[in-house]
Amino acid sequence: MGLFTAIKRELFYTRELAGLLGQLKWITPDSERLTPDALEDSVDAHADRPAFFTEKGEIVTYAAFDAYANRVANWAVAQGLEPGSTVALYMGNRWEYVAVWYGLSKVGVLAALLNNQVTGQPLAHGVSIAETSHIIVEGELAGQYKTACKLINCDLTAWVTDGVECDLDHARDFDSALGEVTSRRPDRSRRAHLKASDPCMKMYTSGTTGLPKAAIVAHTRTLYYLHVFGAAAHAHKDDRMMMVLPMYHATGGLCGVGAALSYGGAVIVRRKFSATKFWDDAVETGATMFMYVGELCRFLVAADPVPAEKQHKIRVAIGNGLRPDVWPRFVERSGIPRVMEFYGATEGNVGLINLDSKPGAIGRVPPHLAKRFNIKLVRFDTEKEEVIRNAQGRAIACEPGEVGEAIGEIRPDDARYRFDGYQDEEATKKKILRDVFTKGDVYFRTGDLMKRDKLGYFYFVDRIGDTFRWKSENVSTNEVAEALGVHPGVIQANVYGVEVGDYSGKAGMAALIVDKDFDLQALRAHVHQELPHYARPLFLRLHTEAPSEHTTGTFKLKKTDLVRQGWDPEAVDEPLYVDDDEAGAYVELTPEIRAAILSGEKRV
């Protein structure tokens, strides 16, 4: 049985990977086939079919989608924008969002996809580094945009779309401007000089650890994202992709949208994710595919069961960040037969796909196909936060089961292995590792710690910088979060290290989102049973719901904010607890207890 299973597994992976790579081999850096060319081909093949289903019940055909995009392209030309120019987008999820960046790409103009969750200084920062003179603002977000206006340090013309009762000073009406231009396709000569290696758009890093960086996304990368997951999922024209993720991120706006539009299917556009409405919506709309991030699945598992969980037609869920503690519960509750977890970053050149739904794995590179992939794991010093090198100055490859940093060889002549960097040159340099295995070789640093098993399955361990040392041991925040996450009543766990007086290293702290059934002391018993003493969080911070000001658009808590506030009860307006060995319980963390810990009077 073991041999038969092994043969079946290898045949499956060989067939699927060979087919996948074969379908994408046309995406090359020197190709003249660009993102708008591929989308126009899909439009022409499916003109009268639905491309989008909106929240208002509207059906937008491929032809209508293309006509709107053509108006955007002709508007850009009317503004005097040249290929290589940038237009910033500050919009929520709507079908026009995709049409705007698609239209701009028809005439070689880049869209900078701003995070519509941020305001004030972070938004002003994003606009400023976009290097743009135009920004398109959705009317509903005008109030948020106004918080950044005085902080933006560049000349900017704001255009408002769907701006009913919008009071944004000096803004121009984008919808009226589109009505003044033709819906005919602009002549392809406007982008004829471009290659697939040229920039298509700008996207931003998530900002979980500071201000976001603008990543340059070339047509090669855009095309790859638009096609790879549809190819892997065997997408077809009758598929409907449920889209609740933000479209300013690559996972939703490119990978999810592309899995439908590149194959004649349709995108079900939703402004926001709702755990209580999701399954009923999926049934009503006939969704067959679903793009997720791990925390979204956690919220679905934490919600009360509903009949629609087993009545939908979703055949595949595609996404990343689904933790091992959530995975089996999500599959059991949803009944979705295939979970296609993947690993990748907007700007990175390392990609993995879990094609056979092995729980916990972020992808697989079969040993006999390893030469077809650029990913390597190298030994890493978590204290010094640097790659370990041998006496000859070369990196040391990890053995199966050994944790190391994932790196990807940079090959400019291969679409999968390119690294186009950020607009910030210094930020780009920090992501490059040189002379790794041989003199002159160049690798991209993912900043992620992983391990792989003997069969080639890869498992995410932690982000570099998140792993910390306490009591002379390395603590993986991801593994601690998984242990916390399986306990009843815990909806979401975010683990990080905090400094404690003169103690060496950092102590563990966990910010938990909990429900009404949460039992604090039962959690302590679970933690003490499941985790070694050094990995047990010393401090707890409790949320009764996700605080929106401290979360990204993909539901992740911003560790920068949490670490800054730390374990000071006078700086945190939520319940704080400390694991008190003398009391044998989590006790409320008061200013007096904090002072005793800092003075050394109370040992931890």
pLDDT at 444 over 90: yes
Q: What's residue 555's pLDDT?
A: 58
Rounded to whole angstroms, how far apart are CA atoms 477 and 462?
A: 7
SS3 106: helix
Q: How many alpha carbons fall within 13 Å on the CB side of residue 15?
A: 8
Token pair for 477? 């925040």
Structure tokens at 556: 């992740």
pLDDT in tens, 415-437: 788 888 887 788 888 899 999 99
Residue 118 has pLDDT above 90, yes or no: no
At 426, which helix (H) or strand (E)?
helix 425-430
Per-residue pLDDT, 420: 83
Q: What is the mean pLDDT of residues 487-492?
A: 89
Entry pTM: 0.84
pLDDT in tens, 533-563: 889 999 999 985 555 555 565 556 667 778 8
Given pLDDT bands bounded at 50, 70 and 90, which one contains residue 170?
Answer: confident
Q: Going from the N-terminus, what domains does the chain have, and what CATH number goes with each?
A: 471-599 (3.30.300.30)
Q: Give the orientation angle of helix 95-106 with respect to helix 35-45, to 10 degrees.
A: 120
DSSP at 185? P
Distance CA 244, CA 292 (A): 8
The predicted model gives 45-68 an average pLDDT of 97
Instruction: Report the chain's mean pLDDT, rounded to a whole number.
Output: 91
**What's the pLDDT score for residue 103?**
98
d(CA 250, CA 293): 12
pLDDT greater at residue 482 or residue 342 = 342
**Interval 10-25 mean pLDDT:** 91
Distances (CA, A) of 148 to 90, 145, 591: 12, 6, 36
Instruction: Give me 244's structure tokens.
Output: 């609740």
pLDDT beyond 60 at 287: yes
Model confidence at 359: pLDDT above 90: yes
Which ranges of 137-212 would DSSP assign to H, the alpha helix?
142-149, 174-179
Among 256, 262, 261, 231, residue whose Cα is nearest residue 243: 256
pLDDT of residue 474: 78
pLDDT in tens, 235-282: 999 999 999 999 999 999 999 999 999 999 999 999 999 999 999 999
217 φ, ψ (degrees, to nearest 5): -110, 110
d(CA 102, CA 193): 18
Contact 473, 532 (CB under 8 A): yes
Integer CA distances (angstroms), 117 to 125, 311, 491, 558, in order? 13, 33, 22, 13
- pLDDT, tens only, 381-395: 877 889 999 999 999
| DSSP symbols for 266-301 | EEEE-SS--TTTHHHHHHHHT--EEEEEHHHHHHHH
Tens-place pLDDT, residues 71-81: 999 999 999 99
Q: Helix 142-149 crosses helix 120-130 at what angle (to 10 degrees)?
A: 80
Distances (CA, A) of 350 to 17, 292, 347, 446: 15, 20, 9, 8
The pLDDT of residue 1 is 53
Can you read off the two tokens belonging to residue 239? 């598929």
pLDDT, residue 32, reads: 96
